[in-house]
Amino acid sequence: MIEDVKIAPSILSADIANLARDLDAISSADFVHVDVMDGHFVPNLTFGPNVVKAAKANSDLPADVHLMITNPDETAEEYARAGADIVTFHWEAATHAHRVVMGIHEAGAKAGISLNPATPASVLEDIISDLDLVLVMSVNPGFGGQKFIPNTLRKLRQVRALAAERGVSPLVEVDGGVGAANAAQIVEAGASVLVAGSAVYGSEDRAAAISQIRDAGRQGLTRRA
Ligand code: DX5
Ligand code: ZN
């Protein structure tokens, strides 16, 4: 298998007072997804670089850090220095997206750009070749437990087509409202990294939830043209 489905549980839905325990519960996943929210780009306020450090200290999984902050130009590199393996910022928030990507790379991490539901895939035309990851938001960012927006599937196909046209293959990640019920169609449309907050942490057996989402996603991989 050239590409496999990867699961990135979001600790936004974890019990932050028991973070070590809740990280341990997802050790069968592929990434730990850390949702950084600043109370400005999105109404919610969550974690900073210290939680990235804590995640790295208490888990063997690579840290997939999703910055929902207004000033990635100023602070994205700090998350790479805190130990993030992937730092993803929002296209809508960056003034000089290319410079931010280069800064993340220089600080030693992989770089991703995220698109809000209303942002077209075409904004990536002149940057996709520099990216390690494209994160397509399937809800409006800010909160866990929202409903998947169906137009995301169309955007995933567009992102994949653009990557193919440029001859590059960044990871394509989807975030929001993802679970075992829709994982197959999401992967079929072009995603290979599935973020899941409530679908994993809302289940009693987190390892079982991870493998159910992964198995469902793999069905989509076999259906992909
Ligand atoms: C939303 C966050 C997501 C969120 C997903 O702004 O970026 O990562 O935790 O939560 P679920 O899977 O519950 O939709
Ligand atoms: Zn996220």
The pLDDT > 90 percentage for the chain reads: 98
CB 127 within 8 A of CB 163: no
Atom of ligand 1 at shortest range from CA of 140: 6
In the chain, % of residues over pLDDT 70: 99
Mean pLDDT of the chain: 97
Does pLDDT of 1 surpass 60? Answer: no
- Spatial strand order in the sheet of 133-137: 6-9, 193-196, 171-175, 133-137, 110-115, 86-90, 63-68, 32-37
CB under 8 Å to 148, separation ≥6 — which residues? 138, 139, 176, 177, 178, 182
Record the tokens describing residue 103, joined without a space: 């800064």
Catalytic-role residue among 35, 38, 64, 85? 35
Distance (Å) from CA 168 to ligand 2 centroid: 23
**Average confidence (pLDDT) over 58-87:** 98
Look up 175 and say whether it is catalytic. yes
- Protein residue closest via CA to atom 1 of ligand 1: 141
Q: How many CB atoms lie within 10 A of CB 98?
A: 11
Best mutation site among 195, 203, 210 for ligand 1 pocket (most ligand atoms within 8 Å of CB): 195
Give the separation between CA 7 and CA 213, rounded to whole angstroms. 8
**CA 66–ligand 2 middle distance (angstroms):** 5
Residue 3: band (very low, low, confident or very high) from pLDDT cuts 50, 70, 90: confident
Q: Ligand 1 pocket, 176 CB below 6 A?
A: yes
Q: What is the DSSP letter of 38?
A: B
What does the pLDDT read at residue 225? 63
Helical H runs in the chain?
19-24, 49-57, 72-81, 97-106, 152-166, 183-189, 198-201, 206-223
Torsion sign over Cα 48, 54, 55, 56:
positive
C-alpha 53 – ligand 2 centre gap (Å): 17
Q: Which residues of 186-218 are buried (b: 16+ CB within 10 A; e: fewer)?
A: bbbbbbbbbbbbbbbbebeebeebbebbbebbb
Backbone angles phi and psi of 162, in degrees to 5: -65, -45
Q: Tens digit of pLDDT for each residue in 61-72?
A: 999 999 999 999
130 is catalytic: no
Name the DSSP letter for residue 55.
Answer: H
pLDDT digits over 95-148, tens only?
999 999 999 999 999 999 999 999 999 999 999 999 999 999 999 999 999 999
- State the closest ligand 1 atom to the C-alpha of 197, by its place in the atom list counted from 1: 12
